[in-house]
Amino acid sequence: MARIYLDNNATTRTAPEVADAISPYLGEIYGNPSSVHRMGARAASALKEAREKTAAFLKCRESEVVFTSGGTESNNMAIHGVLRAAPEKKHIVTSTVEHPSVLEVYKHLEGAGYRATYVGVDREGTLDLQALEDSISEDTALVSLMYANNETGVVFPVEDIVNIVEPRGVPLHVDAVQAAGKIPLDMSSSRIDLLSLSGHKLHAPKGVGVLFVRRGTRIRPLLIGGGQEKGRRSGTENIPFIVGFGKALELAAACPEVVQMRRLRDKLEETALSSISTAVRNGAAEHRLPNTSNLSFEGLEGEAILLMMDEAGICASSGSACSTGALEPSHVLSAMGVPASLARGSVRFSLSRYTTEAEIDAVINELPRIVKRLSALSNKTNPTAIRERHG
């Protein structure tokens, strides 16, 4: 059975053009770019070309591109790197809805003597800009905020954030892992200091990323060793995947499919909301990634919907995390003030440029049936809860 893949915020398929670009570097071109011989020179020139493509994508200097192993490393490098360069400052700012690769680092840092402010969001997932402004002090070493949320797709007003943070002289790191390829990024016109990207979110393989570090930003390396990446990230460069990432960014720069992606996302969302009475959207309608729809189905468990969709050949994701046996509602939806009963019934659909109209039509056809079956089951198995809910 051909599967319908609507979990592209988790990861994307490697583009065939990217796989083709990588292939020679898994074969005959295997030199180390630091070697002086011709094999090394070929690898070094591939590395340079990928850096040029990345710089063109971000509209930045080649020297401002640091290749990493992915979004998690880029985020860790940005946060730890900036703090190590300014050890006298002990206050750090982020939001309540960040990816764990930022939130968990902040929690860790709190244990190591830092004071952290977690700026909140409203019911739509929009950042409280006044609280951000009020949080910054002389002691603030870093503000780290995401461009777009991985669960809801809500896009933060990054230029408003820049206008608050930059005049106060505090470095600003932006986690653009979900935004890249869906929203134009222009480091020549923005004053963002550090920006994280991840290959596998935009049709390159897993295990490659980028940290943009604006010239003049004070940062210490996380990985120390042979001094690669101008001493900012030691370790022999992952040439095949870096080449693949360069290719993926070149393909994403054109972004012609974003309009189609938005149209299909809207079709899926509008039909689900109008045909399923218990469905509600999580997150602002307007300021949102064009590929993401996070819907809650009142009274149902997101996991149950996912399992039935999986049986029907549809891959999506839920906002609840099952780590201790109990289904915990997502920290993002909780921070938005979504009631637990709704948050537990959330499902995230995330499209890619490969998503077709026929696939969306199939989901539109299947979803109401699944919700109806599960509602009937939950009516049977949990009559008290249902009675309470509906009076």
Ligand X SMILES: Cc1ncc(COP(=O)(O)O)c(C=O)c1O
Q: Which residues are catalytic?
A: 322
Nearer to ligand X, 9 or 228 (CB): 9
Name which of residues 129 to 148 contact ligand X (CB under 6 A).
146
Nearer to ligand X, 72 or 296 (CB): 72
Name which of residues 203 to 242 contact ligand X (CB under 6 A).
209
- Which DSSP string do the residues of 238-288 spell out, in sequence order? -HHHHHHHHHHHHHHHH-TTHHHHHHHHHHHHHHHHHH-TTEEE-S-SSSB
x/- string (CB under 6 A) for ligand X, residues 43-82?
---------------------------xxx--x-------
Name which of residues 350 to 389 contact ligand X (CB under 6 A).
none
Task: Examine residue 291 and tell whether it contacts ligand X (CB under 6 A).
Answer: no
Name which of residues 164 to 203 contact ligand X (CB under 6 A).
175, 177-178, 198, 200
Task: Examine residue 101 and tell whether it contacts ligand X (CB under 6 A).
Answer: yes
Nearer to ligand X, 198 or 228 (CB): 198
Q: 86 with 218: CB under 8 angstroms?
A: yes
Out of 51, 99, 182, 232, name the contact with ligand X by CB under 6 A.
Answer: 99
Q: 247 with 17: CB under 8 angstroms?
A: yes
Cβ burial, residue 128 (10 Å; 0-12/13-18/19+): middle
Task: Examine residue 150 and tell whether it contacts ligand X (CB under 6 A).
Answer: yes
Nearer to ligand X, 117 or 317 (CB): 317
Shortest distance (Å) from residue 238 CB to ligand X:
13
Question: How far apart are alpha carbons 12 and 203 in whole angstroms?
Answer: 5
Using alpha carbons only, how large is the chain's radius of gyration in Å?
A: 22
**β-bridge pairing 209-213 and 65-68:** antiparallel
Per residue, the 3-state secondary structure of 167-181, as one string, reads HHCCCEEEECCCCEC
**Phi, psi values for residue 189, rounded to 5°:** -105, -15
Shortest distance (Å) from residue 388 CB to ligand X:
36
Q: Which residue matches tokens 């537990």?
A: 344
**β-bridge pairing 327-328 and 321-322:** antiparallel
Nearer to ligand X, 328 or 366 (CB): 328
List contacts with ligand X (CB under 6 A). Answer: 70-72, 75, 99, 101, 146, 150, 175, 177-178, 198, 200, 209
